[in-house]
A and B are shown apart, each in its own frame.
Chain A
Amino acid sequence: EAQVTQNPRYLITVTGKKLTVTCSQNMNHEYMSWYRQDPGLGLRQIYYSMNVEVTDKGDVPEGYKVSRKEKRNFPLILESPSPNQTSLYFCASSLSRPAGTDTQYFGPGTRLTVL
């Protein structure tokens, strides 16, 4: 089954404790992206990756890191989480054809609370 998976689904942590949220897709998609969703602000892009070893900042990259060592995985790293990073996080993937209409498939979401 074609899917995007994220782990963990729920996480409560404390300020400053490094954490990683994993994202994996089995559709051989080039494009992967991380979003955070906050009430009234919609989905804001944190980082995206066009392919292996190719990443770029989105709209709200501060406090986050990513890596793309393999095509299927795109982990989100919070080196020193702070309470303002409490949010619902979504990973998404799609094919990468600039002239095409490529559906983004979203993961199930990770609800993160930083105390």
Chain B
Amino acid sequence: GENVEQHPSTLSVQEGDSAVIKCTYSDSASNYFPWYKQELGKRPQLIIDIRSNVGEKKDQRIAVTLNKTAKHFSLHITETQPEDSAVYFCAARALRAGGYQKVTFGTGTKLQVIP
């Protein structure tokens, strides 16, 4: 089955610096890669996603890159702010026979932005 590895597990950056979180996946059938942000005590919420036919997507301070050949994708946050502090999860969605979809999450990265 699909295996999604996420690194690092914790990340501390100074406010204003950039943060990068990396994920690798194993299933070449994966075609959709969302990133979720989970604040303490809250539910995960989508912050950005990318499809397998796109190499990069940007939304203000957040960007995601995808390298299908190497089976890895990354989240980039620029000009970090204290409110970016949270746990971030990557995920990969793969198609199965009969149209079934399987979503596998990474183990999460706890980002701390130091003011």
Contact = CB atoms under 8 A, between A and B. Distances in A.
Contacts of A50: 99-101
B107 interface: yes
Contact of B105 (A44, A99, A109): A44
A70 B96 CA distance: 23
B1 A106 contact: no
B38 to A, nearest CB: 9
Contacts of A40: 9, 107
A1 interface: no
What bracket does the count of chain A residues touching chain B fall in?
A: 20 to 34
Nearest to B43: A106
Contacts of B108: 42
Nearest to B106: A42
Contacts of B91: 43
B89 A43 contact: yes
A56 B100 contact: yes
B104 A45 contact: yes
A85 B36 CA distance: 24
Contacts of A53: none
A53 to B, nearest CB: 14
23 contacts: A33-B103, A35-B105, A40-B9, A41-B107, A42-B106, A43-B91, A43-B105, A48-B103, A50-B99, A56-B100, A59-B1, A96-B99, A96-B101, A98-B31, A98-B95, A98-B99, A98-B101, A101-B49, A103-B49, A104-B34, A106-B44, A106-B45, A108-B43
Interface of B: 1, 6, 9, 31-32, 34, 43-46, 49, 51, 89, 91, 95, 99-108
